[in-house]
Copies of this chain bind each other. A is one copy, B any other.
Amino acid sequence: MTTIQDVARHAAVSVSTVSNVLNGRGDRMRPATLARVEAAIATLQFRPSKSAQQLKTGQTPLLGLLVPSMANPMYGYIAREVETFAQERFGYRLLIGSTYRDAAKEAAFFEDLRAHGVRHVIVISSLAEERHLDSAVARGMNVMSYDRRAAPGRPSAVGHVTPDNFEAARLATGHLIAKGHTRLAFATVAGMTMSRSDKIEGFFAAADAAGLRASAKVLDGGPLNEYGDSVIAEVGRATGLQLANDSRRATGIVALNDLMALGLMAGLREGGRHVPQDVSVVGIDGLFLAALSDPMLTTVQLPIRDMARAMVEQVMQAGAGAEALARERVFSEVRLIERESVGPPPRPARSSPMTKARTAKK
Q: Chain A residues in contact with chain B, CB under 8 A?
A: 1, 47-52, 54-55, 60, 62, 69-73, 75-77, 79-81, 83-84, 87, 93-98, 109, 111-112, 114-117, 140, 229-230, 233, 237, 262-263, 265-266, 269, 288-289, 291-294, 296
Contacts and interface: CB of A to CB of B under 8 A. Distances in A.
A115 B52 contact: no
A266 B296 contact: yes
12 contacts: A47-B111, A49-B55, A50-B117, A70-B83, A73-B73, A80-B98, A87-B97, A93-B112, A94-B97, A229-B288, A230-B288, A266-B292
Given A265-B294, A266-B291, A116 B98 contact: no
A326 B283 CA distance: 46
A237 B289 CA distance: 12
Question: Shortest 3 CB-CB distances between A and B: which pairs?
Answer: A230-B288, A76-B76, A51-B51
Given A47-B111, A98-B83, A269 B289 contact: no
Nearest to A81: B71
A116 B51 contact: yes
Dominant SS among interface residues on chain A: helix
Taking each of A47, A70, A117, A263, which has the highest tally of chain B beta carbons within 10 Å of its own beta carbon?
A70
A52 B51 CA distance: 7
Contact of A293 (B116, B117, B294): B294
Given A293-B292, A294-B269, A69 B60 contact: no
Contacts of A289: 73, 230, 233, 262, 289
Contacts of A62: 95, 116
Contacts of A60: 51
Contacts of A291: 230, 266
Given A51-B55, A75-B76, A93-B116, 13 more contacts: A48-B115, A50-B117, A51-B52, A70-B80, A71-B73, A71-B77, A76-B79, A94-B95, A96-B96, A230-B289, A233-B288, A266-B293, A294-B294
Contacts of A237: 292
Contact of A117 (B49, B84, B140): B49
A47 B115 contact: yes
Contacts of A116: 50-51, 62, 93
A117 B51 contact: yes
Contacts of A233: 288-289, 292
Nearest to A45: B139
A132 B115 CA distance: 31
